[in-house]
Structure 1
Amino acid sequence: MRADGVLFDKDGTLFDFSATWDVWAAGTLRDLAAGVPGRLRALADAAGYDLESARFRPQSRVIAGTNREAAECLAPELPHLSIAQIEDHLMRSSAEAQLTPVVALAPLLDALRGLGLRLGVMTNDTEFGARAHLGAAAVADRFDFIAGFDSGFGGKPSPAPLLAFARAQALDPARVVMVGDSRHDLTAGRAAGMQCVGVLTGPATAQDLAPLADAVLPDIGHLPDWLRGADG
């Protein structure tokens, strides 16, 4: 086995990014625009969201950023709301997003636990959102560690929250695999001294992820074979 623990990103890793968050963003931006002429377009531009294709643009700061950073992006177009109010709106609406798991999560996570691995989730979403989403998918109990950017360890690309997982589970960081769909995830993993696996269920391409990854896999369903030593 290549590792003793696996730390997952959430959005774009456990849950398909486009099928979940492109759809959620369309409704949320319309809610925030509240029918004010021109505001929807301005919010979409601020968020890096293409209204015509109903998708986030690859360079959007919202994709890998924290909930607070997303609120800060939108704040100039919502002068009647504080950043804290926007952040709260995003947190509560995202907690109710219709999730699309990339694979059947429970069997995969049970298989990983059966290999003796400690499992965690570290997301730049809020911890509230992470627990809501994992609970809705009925897999929260499979994880030994769940943290958001607001859990007291910071957010990615800092290695601090990843190292918090290793400490909490008494693991050598070099024996932990960080699995994510963005360069933020893998940059954090590298800085933490962890192994890094990229997955292609978010907006990033293999070319984006490969320079930072030990392997780039189509999705997390391929992870057990890689952990057992198959080439990525």
Structure 2
Amino acid sequence: MIRAIIFDKDGTLFDFNATWGAFVRTLLVAETGGDPALLRRLAAALGYDLATNLFLPGSVVIAEPTNVVARVVADVTGQWDVAALTARMNDISTTVPQMPAADLPALMTALRARGLTLGVVTNDAELPAIRHLEDAGIVDELAFVAGYDSGFGAKPGPGQLLAFCAATGIAPADCAMVGDSTHDLAAGRVAGMVCIGVLTGPAARDDLVPHADAVLVNIDGLPDWLNANA
């Protein structure tokens, strides 16, 4: 019986390309000083299509924590202060308007009305994540929020998910992990949770199906899935 749902943030609660696609191009131009050749190398390293302003499946930006992405940027651009670059990226990301993948307040209210405990675990940093959830009007519906820097590790490791269980007293087998990437689903599988993929990130259905118990178009499908699997 599902007693809790844990969400990834980017690509799950918020449409990934709609939120980050055009913004990241601006960031890349700034970090490369407008050098076209360097811009192309950095875009390739990050798995970003400059022609469409979209991320490619398998992009490091999709699933890896900000500090890992910062190291890739630093390696390509020759920056030596990765900590400062990471901090700058976190500061900038806090201000990016998020594009919800569904009516989040209505969905969270409906899930909470079913008696479900809700949480968010993300490979974003904790403070930007909380800011995004506050702006979306749902942070008060969540029993637990963790970023890659919250002390529990990052996905695909299960640490964040097990920390949710420790904080709420709910067993992993009674939890569903919902995410748009194989990192999300791998973390859920190792933690011993039901794994649900959604298609609001760059990954295609065929990418997620081998790792998921179910794949939904978006999180709006959760109530129907819960009804069918009660």
The TM-score bracket by the shorter chain reads over 0.9
Q: How far 1:81 moved relative to its partner?
A: 4.3
Counterpart code for 2:49:
D
Q: How far 1:230 moved relative to its partner?
A: 5.0
Paired position in structure 1 for 2:185: 186
- Residues paired across the two proteins, number: 230
Paired position in structure 2 for 1:229: 228
Task: State the alpha-carbon separation in 2 of the partners of residues 184 and 131 from structure 1.
Answer: 21
Contact 1:145–1:165 (CA under 8 A) maintained in structure 2: yes
Task: State the alpha-carbon separation in 2 of the partners of residues 78 and 14 from structure 1.
Answer: 31
Paired position in structure 2 for 1:63: 62
Contact 1:127–1:149 (CA under 8 A) maintained in structure 2: yes
Paired position in structure 2 for 1:73: 72
Taking structure 1 as reference, are residues 80 and 71 closer, same or farther at Cα in structure 2, changes over 3 Å only? Answer: closer
Q: How far 1:15 moved relative to its partner?
A: 0.2
Could you state the TM-score of these two structures normalised by the residue count of structure 2?
A: 0.96
Q: Does 2:215 align with 1:216?
A: yes
Task: State the alpha-carbon separation in 1 of the partners of residues 108 and 12 from structure 2.
Answer: 13
Task: State the alpha-carbon separation in 2 of the partners of residues 190 and 37 from structure 1.
Answer: 41
Q: How far 1:78 moved relative to its partner?
A: 2.7
Task: State the alpha-carbon separation in 1 of the partners of residues 92 and 42 from structure 2.
Answer: 16
Q: What SS does the corresponding residue of 1:197 show, helix, strand or coil?
A: strand
Contact 1:24–1:94 (CA under 8 A) maintained in structure 2: no
Q: What SS does the corresponding residue of 1:74 show, helix, strand or coil?
A: helix
Moved >3 Å (runs of 4+):
none
Task: State the alpha-carbon separation in 1 of the partners of residues 217 and 44 from structure 2.
Answer: 30
Task: State the alpha-carbon separation in 2 of the partners of residues 78 and 135 from structure 1.
Answer: 33
Q: How far 1:229 moved relative to its partner?
A: 2.3
Counterpart code for 2:9:
K
Task: State the alpha-carbon separation in 1 of the partners of residues 215 and 10 from structure 2.
Answer: 17
Paired position in structure 1 for 2:21: 22
Task: State the alpha-carbon separation in 1 of the partners of residues 35 and 216 from structure 2.
Answer: 43
Counterpart code for 2:125:
T
Task: State the alpha-carbon separation in 1 of the partners of residues 46 and 19 from structure 2.
Answer: 16
Task: State the alpha-carbon separation in 1 of the partners of residues 76 and 30 from structure 2.
Answer: 13
Q: How far 1:37 moved relative to its partner?
A: 5.1
Summarize the alignment of residues 100-179 of structure 1 with structure 2, pairs less than 5 Å apart: 100-179=99-178
* Structure 1 unaligned blocks of 5 or more: none
Q: What SS does the corresponding residue of 1:203 show, helix, strand or coil?
A: coil
Q: How far 1:228 moved relative to its partner?
A: 2.1
Q: What SS does the corresponding residue of 1:38 show, helix, strand or coil?
A: helix
Taking structure 1 as reference, are residues 180 and 37 closer, same or farther at Cα in structure 2, changes over 3 Å only? Answer: closer
Counterpart code for 2:129:
A
Counterpart code for 1:52:
A
Task: State the alpha-carbon separation in 2 of the partners of residues 110 and 172 from structure 1.
Answer: 22
Task: State the alpha-carbon separation in 1 of the partners of residues 217 and 35 from structure 2.
Answer: 41
* Structure 2 unaligned blocks of 5 or more: none
Task: State the alpha-carbon separation in 1 of the partners of residues 8 and 85 from structure 2.
Answer: 23
Taking structure 1 as reference, are residues 210 and 80 closer, same or farther at Cα in structure 2, changes over 3 Å only? Answer: closer
Task: State the alpha-carbon separation in 2 of the partners of residues 181 and 88 from structure 1.
Answer: 25
Paired position in structure 1 for 2:83: 84
Counterpart code for 1:113:
R
Name the stretch that deviates more: 126-135 or 42-51.
42-51
Q: Does 2:30 align with 1:31?
A: yes
Q: What SS does the corresponding residue of 2:215 show, helix, strand or coil?
A: strand
CA offset digits 1:128-161 (Å, max 9, x no partner): 1111111111211111101001000000000111
Task: State the alpha-carbon separation in 2 of the partners of residues 54 and 151 from structure 1.
Answer: 30
Task: State the alpha-carbon separation in 2 of the partners of residues 61 and 87 from structure 1.
Answer: 15
Q: How far 1:94 moved relative to its partner?
A: 1.1
Task: State the alpha-carbon separation in 2 of the partners of residues 92 and 81 from structure 1.
Answer: 19
